[in-house]
Amino acid sequence: MSSYFTDLAQQYIDGEWRPGTGSWDIIDFNPYDGEKLASITIATVDEVDEAYQAAARAQKQWADTNPYARREVFEKALGLINEREQEITDVIIAELGGTRVKAGFELHLAKEFLREAIHLSLRPEGRIIPSPIDGKENRVYRVPVGVVGVISPFNFPFLLSIKSVAPALALGNGIVLKPHQNTPITGGTLVAKIFEDAGLPKGLLNVVVTDIAEIGDAFIEHPVPKVISFTGSDKVGRHVATVTASHFKRSVLELGGNSAIVVLDDADIDYAVDAAVFSRYVHQGQVCMAANRVIVDRSIADEFTEKFVAKVKGLKVGDPRDPETVIGPVINSSQADALASTVEQAIAEGATALVRGETTDNLVSPSVLTDIPAGSALLHQEVFGPVAFLIPVDGEEEAVRVVNDTPYGLSGAVHTANIERGVNFAKRIDTGMFHVNDGTVHDEPIVPFGGEKSSGVGRLNGETMLDAFTTLKWISVQHGRSRFPF
């Protein structure tokens, strides 16, 4: 594993591994024990330009490559991930503090998205559309956008980089990938290495490890990329949307969430407890789909709360390398401090701590809070960590109102013995995704993924990848002579 943090601690531009030319380094730390994993000299604006120019040069020939030949790259990449699964697992654990369960979940999904990319290569189809003009043939072609800029986050960096990179490449585009500063290997150069070894043509995929303190908006303002695919916070996403729109670029924004899991009065309480604990605490709660709010009908709230609290207290906190660990470290000290402040603020506002977690370095133990005042700002924001807000409600109508009382609309779930009751409940919720009798954290390669309101714009996965990473071109053919009015 150490060779990954040595060999891949570079920029990858135009098929070459090389150091950045910036004046400072990004230091990559293990969030659990603080070990220095790598030091990467940042890329400058000039290197961002070189990366985009390289992608543009390589893209034309790639787009003209037979899609049956293109898909071979993804087949080889899938095989390489299978061969290197243990090493990649170790990198995920070391660089982002993911547990072994989390690493397995991330790798499983990454492989599923590569399998879908294999099929996606063959998905674009043209159409012939009728014309009111005699002898005219209207052909509509689906073509690559050209070059896509991808910005990936720190929580599922390997998966969420591949999720945009693989389909965009499969559809004939070039890529420049900017991983998060806390996960430059897992979310950036490791992805490049796999595709390089799989035989992807040089220059087609580039990785720039850098920071906005160095490059400002150069990554999203650059004239080459036609689409920016961004996964991250709604605050940054709003800025990305504003800048890209002003430069007539398309943006695909997968942003934050404030999901709720709802337990109605007829739910299987034990099952709902299991689903709620997983939905809130998977990967330390650092998941955009995580259930910040656990909303329970008051008639069953006492029994649910007792069982929920007992299960939360049993979650093992500690070294993510230990297979028994459920709660590893959050990504950095700023995140740990912010979570401690969230708990303190809630208690100061009058909340009751049924479980109050402790913070030791980047390890944040789970908290369960209830009696949060209805007007608290905490109920309306994303809490990116192992803090659950338990909210009793009086009946289904109040549950719908509380679930929708947030600026976000990403995911959610409802538990009930009546499936159609659950489906009807889901239809009333303002989210892009909602699940009946399950958890809130789901992603599948052919189902449209995305949110409403402040949770994003656009969709990814399956057919929606065509909308994200291709465009339509109309070419008409006039058979015979056209008649002109003068």
Q: Sketch the domain layout of the chain as residue ranges.
A: 2-255+455-474, 259-436
254 counts as catalytic: yes
Give first-to-last CA distance, the chain, whole Å. 73
Flag whether pLDDT at 295 surpasses 80: yes
Position 476 confidence tier, pLDDT thresholds 50, 70, 90: very high
CA gap 273, 263 in Å, rounded: 9
Pairing of strands 136-144, 147-151: unpaired
This prediction's pTM: 0.96
C-beta atoms surrounding 87 within 10 Å = 13
Q: Note the pLDDT of residue 296.
A: 98
196 counts as catalytic: no
CA gap 344, 325 in Å, rounded: 26
**Identified catalytic residue from 116, 288, 382, 396:** 288
The phi, psi pair for 359, rounded to 5°, reads -115, 120
**Identified catalytic residue from 47, 50, 112, 254:** 254
Pick the CATH number of 2-255+455-474 from 3.40.50.1820, 3.20.20.140, 3.40.605.10, 3.40.630.40: 3.40.605.10
Residues of the chain with pLDDT > 90, as a percent, come to: 99
Domain spanning 259-436: CATH 3.40.190.10: no
Position 88 confidence tier, pLDDT thresholds 50, 70, 90: very high
* 1-7 LR contacts (CB < 8 Å, sep 24+): 1/87, 1/90, 1/91, 1/94, 4/87, 4/91, 4/185, 4/190, 5/37, 5/38, 5/91, 5/94, 5/95, 5/185, 6/38
Position 430 confidence tier, pLDDT thresholds 50, 70, 90: very high
Position 97 confidence tier, pLDDT thresholds 50, 70, 90: very high
Q: Note the pLDDT of residue 338.
A: 96
CA gap 115, 130 in Å, rounded: 36
Give the tokens for residue 301.
Answer: 């709230």
Position 1 confidence tier, pLDDT thresholds 50, 70, 90: low
Q: What is the pLDDT of residues 192-214, one digit of tens each?
A: 999 999 999 999 999 999 999 99
When pLDDT is averaged across residues 437-458 and rounded to a whole number, the result is 97
**CB 138 within 8 Å of CB 110:** no
Position 259 confidence tier, pLDDT thresholds 50, 70, 90: very high
